[in-house]
Chains A and B, each alone.
Chain A
Amino acid sequence: MNWNDLATRLFGDRHDIREERDLLRGTATFDGATLCVLGTTNHAAIGYELALRQAAVVLGTIEDHPGRPILLLVDTQGQQLRRADEFLGINRAMAHLGCCIDLARRRGHAVIGVVYDQALSGGFITTGLLADECHALPEAEIRVMRLPAMARITKIPEATLAQLSQANPVFAPGVENYVAMGAVRSLWNPDDPASGLRTALAARNTRDVRAADGEQRGGRTAARPTVQKVLDAA
């Protein structure tokens, strides 16, 4: 779904979200409250500068509108794969964005992510994956890499990977798999995304429950018990 459609389904005309060179930013009125809306579009590659432009919006919201909820609209092809970005320290810019989102949460801003188009690896890890909760539309695509590329790099036949991924969500792309692993809390009904957002905002889930969700849903069963073993180790 394109961001305009999603914004209309969520907020009607009660929003001023604008697109500026792959960045989405603005405010919206939802159930009488003002939200900060921040995101990317056009399957943006998140480079050094785009990470900073997102961080600026988060910092501005923390400073000027304490407590205002932040909705992250995720659509990215992953990190920018350019030498100039590496030279500048793209990892530092992304860490900075992640720290800004984390600080917002700590200072009482609800931060909700929604993958409305696609979310790939490095572009997703310091936005939606650092929200209080991340959700997705059913048609969204989430992955680190496609099976052919994974087959090439791991030297495991693609057919084998395809077969294994039927039963094990760890191997395969797909939004359902990210639900099973606990990274995506729920899928929003595309005809009524407002219900999903309302539930997420009401939950105010500030603890990281993804490993527990992943275990309960059967998609990521080793993570939570391993964490517990470390806590219990004599």
Chain B
Amino acid sequence: MNRENFELHASRAATRTSYAECTARERLAHVVDAGSFREWLPPAERIMSPHLAQLGVPGAFDDGVAIGEARLAGQRVFAAAQEGAFMGGGVGEVHGAKLVGLFQRALRDKPAAVLLLADSGGVRLHEANAGLIGVSEVMRALLDVRAAGIPVIVLIGGANGCFGGMGIVARCADRIVMSDAGRLGMSGPEVIEASHGVEEFDSRDRALVWRTTGGAHRHRTGDCDVLVADDVVAFRDAAIDALGCTPVFTLEALQAEHRLLVDRLDTLQP
């Protein structure tokens, strides 16, 4: 970032609302048209994990994800936001099923797009088996929606980033918007360090962590389409822009993706 941009950033920082610091429902409220979000299976209905209580772990009345319909620039969209403060946004049985239901409903009702505000370490290890299966069901339901011509837009800028199965789900979407506070990947640095040692990945080396999975790196490689400031308005603007994209889920598109990813083995050196 050059000095002028930096100063522009600094002057805006005083007035902007940090996307990273918002809760899931605050993010939804800021991103979609004001007052338009209508939640399905809200906390009042107490659709909760049946497993956490058995473990003596407190549950959440929404199992860590808010889903519903809203307007974005006047267009009808469906949206989900993961609550990173509850179990790291981990996907359990109910959490996953809410996402599957949202995509299945999108296939039936044909909104203009589906927004996924991801903030998740991946599968919730307390109910890992069900979470793993749930994530694969989310992938199939998401791809059904794209195959029907409805774009899926992922926003990543929360403290948990978007990892594990959710990191795969994100890359199944049409468009990814990240802030430089966002991270996207498969395995977090702590897991890699625990498995292969500190020489493989020093999880306390924050610069290295950002260079590996951070928003700026992902934007440079094209893994994220749009890099925005940590600002709810910037995320909203990018989501509105993404409404115009058309899903292309064809053999030709996957062959092009394949060539790009194979080329990367030679051109992208850590």
Residues of chain A at the chain B interface (Cβ within 8 Å): 48-49, 52, 55-56, 59, 62-63, 79, 81-96, 98-100, 102-103, 106-107, 121-122, 124-126, 129-130, 143-145, 150, 153-154, 156, 160-161, 164, 168-173, 177-178, 181-183, 208, 210-211, 214, 220-224, 226-231, 233
B33-68 CB contact bits vs A (8 Å, 1 = yes)? 000000011000001011100111100000000010
- A231: chain B residues within 8 A (beta carbon): 101, 104-105, 108
B196 in contact with A230 (CB, 8 Å):
no
A82 in contact with B196 (CB, 8 Å):
yes
| A170 interface neighbour in B130, B217, B218, Cβ under 8 Å | B130
A211 in contact with B137 (CB, 8 Å):
yes
Chain B, interface size: which category?
A: 35 or more
A102 in contact with B143 (CB, 8 Å):
yes
Known: A81-B192, A99-B249, A229-B47. A130 touches B128 (CB 8 A): no
**Least CB separation from A107: chain B residue:** B251
Q: State in angstroms the CA–CA spacing of A88 and B196 once bound together.
A: 18
B147 at the interface (CB under 8 A from A): yes
Stretch binding the partner chain, chosen from B6-14, B16-24, B235-243, B257-265: B257-265
B254 at the interface (CB under 8 A from A): yes
A226 in contact with B94 (CB, 8 Å):
yes
A-B pair count, CB < 8 Å, reads 242
B93 in contact with A164 (CB, 8 Å):
no
B143 in contact with A87 (CB, 8 Å):
no
**Least CB separation from A91: chain B residue:** B167
A168 in contact with B51 (CB, 8 Å):
yes
Chain B contacts with A in 212-228, Cβ cutoff 8 A: 212-213, 217-218, 221, 223
- A81: chain B residues within 8 A (beta carbon): 187, 191-192, 195-196
Additional A-B contact list (4), CB under 8 Å, known A52-B265, A223-B130, A226-B93: A90-B186, A154-B55, A208-B140, A220-B130
